[in-house]
Amino acid sequence: MRVDVTSVVDDRGTTDVAGHDVLAPDCPSRVVFGRIGERWTMLVILALARAGTLRFTELKTQVGRVTPKVLTETLRALEDDGLISRRAFQDSPPRVEYSLTPLGESLLEPIDAMRAWAERHVPEVLAARERAASA
Amino acid sequence: MRVDVTSVVDDRGTTDVAGHDVLAPDCPSRVVFGRIGERWTMLVILALARAGTLRFTELKTQVGRVTPKVLTETLRALEDDGLISRRAFQDSPPRVEYSLTPLGESLLEPIDAMRAWAERHVPEVLAARERAASA
DNA sequence: ACGTCCGGTATCTTCAACGGAACTTCCCTC
DNA sequence: GAGGGAAGTTCCGTTGAAGATACCGGACGT
C-alpha cells in the first residue's frame, strides 16, 4: 500500500480490520505510544485520575520534581490532545483547575493493562537487566 | 511536607495491593513506559511478533528507516531487558537471529490494549489537535 | 509599603537520542 | 585478487527535550 515505507509485509496479513498498518511510522498507535512515552504525561494522568481535579501547584507537588516549564508544556500537550481540560477562574490569586476529559478517562483502561503487566513482570525485567549488567 | 518522593499521597489509597506507588518516579510502570516510548522498540517488538524470528537485516528493512547503529542499540536494550533473544551462529556470512522471549510475548497483550484504544480514539485525538492548532 | 501566593514565561544550559557515512572481519564467489 | 554479503562498530554531528533559575502581574494580608 501507499506510504513509502510500506508494503513491508503485505504477504502476511499485517493490516488489521480497520486498515491500519501497525508497523507504519504514522500508525495511530505510534501517536499514542509517543505521547504516553513522554516523561511526565503518565504521572499527570494518573494524578488526575486519582484526585479528579487538581490545581497547577497541586499537580506540581504530586507529580514530583517537575519544573513549571515542563509541566506547562505537558499540560498544554495533553489539553491539545483532548485528554485533559483546563478551567481558569479569574480569582485572585489566580486559580486553574485541571481534570481528565471523558477521552482521558477512557485512556486509563489500557494504561492500567500496562501497569498490571509492569507489576507482574518488572521483577523479571530488572533481573534480566542485572544479569546483563554483570556480564 | 517532607519532600522525599515517597509518601506523596498517603492520605488516599495511592498504593496498590502490591505496594507500588504508581506516581513514584521509580515505579515499575515508569520503566515499562519509558522503554516502549523509545522510538523503535515498538516496531521491533511488533515485527518480531509477526515474523517469529528475524535476522538483523530483515529487521532493518521491516522496521523502516532505522540506521544500523540505532537498531543495534535498540536490540541490545531489549535483550538486556529480557524481552528479545539473540542467537548468533558462526556461519559465514555471519547469521544472527532475533526473536521474542516468552516475557516479550507477554508484553503483546497490554500493547494490544493500547493499540485497540488508539484505533478507537485516535480520530478524536486528531480532531482535538486540529481544533487546538487552528485556535 | 512589603512580602506572598498563584500560574505561569523567559532564558540559558545540558544531555541523551538520533542520524550519516565509512570502516571492519570473516568467508565466499567470480 | 576483486568484489560482495552479513552484522555490526566507530566517529562525528545535529537536534530536541529536559532542567535550572529567574522573573512577572495582580490582588491580598498585615
pLDDT digits (tens, 9 = 90+) for B80-127: 999 999 999 888 788 999 999 999 999 999 999 998 999 899 999 999
Number of Cβ atoms within 10 Å of the Cβ of B134: 6
Residue type, B7: S
Q: Closest partner residue to A122 among B14, B28, B127, by Cβ?
A: B28
What integer pLDDT is reported at residue B25 of this predicted model?
Answer: 65
Mean pLDDT of B38-62: 93
Which residue stretches of chain A have pLDDT < 70? Answer: 1-25
Q: How far is CA B81 from CA A127, A131, B14, B37, B103, in A?
A: 8, 9, 28, 15, 9
C-alpha cell at A77: 500537550
DSSP string, B6-26: TTTTTTS--B-TT--BTTSTT
Between B27 and A112, residue with greater pLDDT: A112
Locus of grid cell 509517543: A34
Peptide bond into B25 cis (omega under 30): no
For each of the domains in chain A, give its residue range(s) and CATH number, in order of start.
28-134 (1.10.10.10)
**Average model confidence (pLDDT) across chain B:** 83
**Average model confidence (pLDDT) across chain A:** 84
| Gap between the Cα atoms of A87 and A102, Å rounded | 15
Please give, rounded to a whole number of angstroms, the shortest distance from the CA of B125 to a CA of chain A.
Answer: 5
pLDDT digits (tens, 9 = 90+) for A72-96: 999 999 999 999 999 999 888 999 9
DSSP string, B28-54: HHHHHHHHHHSTTHHHHHHHHHHHSEE
CA of B100 to C1' of D22 (A): 49
What integer pLDDT is reported at residue A31 of this predicted model?
Answer: 84
Q: How far is CA B102 from CA A129, A135, B7, B23, in A?
A: 16, 21, 35, 28
Residue type, B131: R
Nearest CA in chain A to B107: A117
What integer pLDDT is reported at residue B134 of this predicted model?
Answer: 83
For residue B121, say whether its CB is under 7 Å from any atom of strand D.
Answer: no
For residue B73, say whether its CB is under 7 Å from any atom of strand C.
Answer: yes
What integer pLDDT is reported at residue A74 of this predicted model?
Answer: 96
Q: In strand D, which positions have an atom below 7 A from any protein CB?
A: 4-11, 17-22, 25-28
Nearest CA in chain A to B10: A62
What integer pLDDT is reported at residue A18 of this predicted model?
Answer: 57
What integer pLDDT is reported at residue A25 of this predicted model?
Answer: 65
Q: List alpha helices for A3-135, DSSP H.
A: 28-37, 41-51, 56-63, 68-80, 102-106, 108-134
Mean pLDDT of B46-74: 93
Locus of grid cell 544479569: A131
| Gap between the Cα atoms of B112 and A80, Å rounded | 25
Please give, rounded to a whole number of angstroms, the shortest distance from the CA of B127 to a CA of chain A.
Answer: 8
Hits for CB < 7 Å against strand D across B residues 77-116: 86, 88, 92-96
Q: Which nucleotide is nearest to B68 (CA to C1')?
A: D8
Locus of grid cell 490545581: A55
Measured between beta carbons, the chain A residues lying within 8 angstroms of B135 are none
Protein residue with the closest CA to the C1' atom of nucleotide C9 = A69
Mean pLDDT of B10-30: 61
pLDDT digits (tens, 9 = 90+) for B57-70: 999 999 988 999 99
